[in-house]
Amino acid sequence: MAEVAVNRRGFLSASAAAAAGGVLGGSATAEPEMAPASAPGQLPVALDVNGRRHQLVVDSRRTLLDLLREDLGLTGAKKGCDHGQCGACTVLVNGRRVLSCLTLAVAVTGEVSTIEGLAAVDGELHPMQAAFVAEDAFQCGYCTPGQILSAIACVSERHANSTAEIREYMSGNICRCAAYPHIVTAIARAKAQMEA
């Protein structure tokens, strides 16, 4: 779980991972059926996230979501249910929306896009982000990164042609605050800009 790339965030996450590794090693004795830390469960992984390559060594159990959040410090993708039911962890892999909580990090091939990579370098928001702000398409905001990534894919898949179609093709993203009407409006607004 140590990141090889040299930067401040990587250094911090590598330190945190090393500390966590010590704790996990200790717990192995408490659960005898657990394989020792030297089991063939530590694997190298090379991931392209938001245009930047990361090389890490991760446990085979590491999900893409946990890797993003805990190893790379990209906490935009959220852990809601952790079982593929709520959509809060939605990211794009090669432009397709997937659930990072049900994706093994070692199995990822291709470019990962998260909410952190959407805005332009000058800070200008992606049209979908801007539309969510303009339409007030959230309350607590916890599901919003997943909603926005899913919404971008909804438009690029050409499944945003009517309110009914947007609702159907956004059904994998649950909003506990029930901001759905504004989410639908935001997607329709962003669609016009994305396709312009």
Partner 1 sequence: MRPFAYVRADSADRAIAASTPGARFLAGGTTLLDLMKLDVMRPERVVDINGLSDRYGQIEANDEGVFLGALVRMAEAAQHPRILADYPVIAQSLRFAASPQLRNMATLGGNVLQRTRCSYFRNSGVGSCNKREPGSGCAAIDGVNRKHAVLGVSPHCIATYAGDLAQALIALSAVVAISGPDGDRRIAFDQLHRLPGDRPELETTLAPAELITGFWVPAGAWTRRSLYLKVRDREAYEFALSSAAVALDVADGAVREARIGLGGVATIPWRARAAEEALKGQPMTAANADAAAGTAFAEAQTRFDNAYKPELGRRTLVRALLAAAALEV
CA-based max dimension of the chain: 60
Round to whole Å and give the CA distance between 139 and 175. 9
Q: Which is nearer to partner 1, 95 or 124 (CB)?
A: 95
178 binds partner 1 (CB under 8 A): no
Stretch that binds partner 1, among 10-18, 34-42, 176-184, 186-194 (CB under 8 A): 34-42
In Å, what is the CA distance from 184 to each residue of 57, 79, 168, 170? 40, 23, 11, 9
129 binds partner 1 (CB under 8 A): no
Q: Quick check: 114 and 91 in contact, CB under 8 A?
A: yes
Applying CB under 8 A, the site for partner 1 has a residue count of 39
Paired with 3 in beta bridges are 56
Stretch that binds partner 1, among 12-20, 82-90, 111-119, 127-135 (CB under 8 A): 82-90
Q: Which is nearer to partner 1, 35 or 121 (CB)?
A: 35
Q: Which is nearer to partner 1, 53 or 158 (CB)?
A: 158
Round to whole Å and give the CA distance between 129 and 126. 5
Round to whole Å and give the CA distance between 183 and 163. 10
Interface with partner 1 (CB under 8 A), residue from 18, 19, 20, 39 = 39
Q: Which residues contact 11 (CB under 8 A, 6 or more apart)?
A: none
Closest CA to 104 of 66, 56, 73, 146: 66
Interface with partner 1 (CB under 8 A), residue from 103, 113, 129, 185 = 103
Interface with partner 1 (CB under 8 A), residue from 117, 167, 188, 194 = 167
Q: Which is nearer to partner 1, 10 or 144 (CB)?
A: 144
- Residues forming contacts to partner 1 in the complex (CB under 8 A) are 33-35, 39-41, 43, 59-61, 63, 82-84, 87, 90, 96-99, 101-104, 106-107, 109, 150, 153-154, 157, 159, 167-173
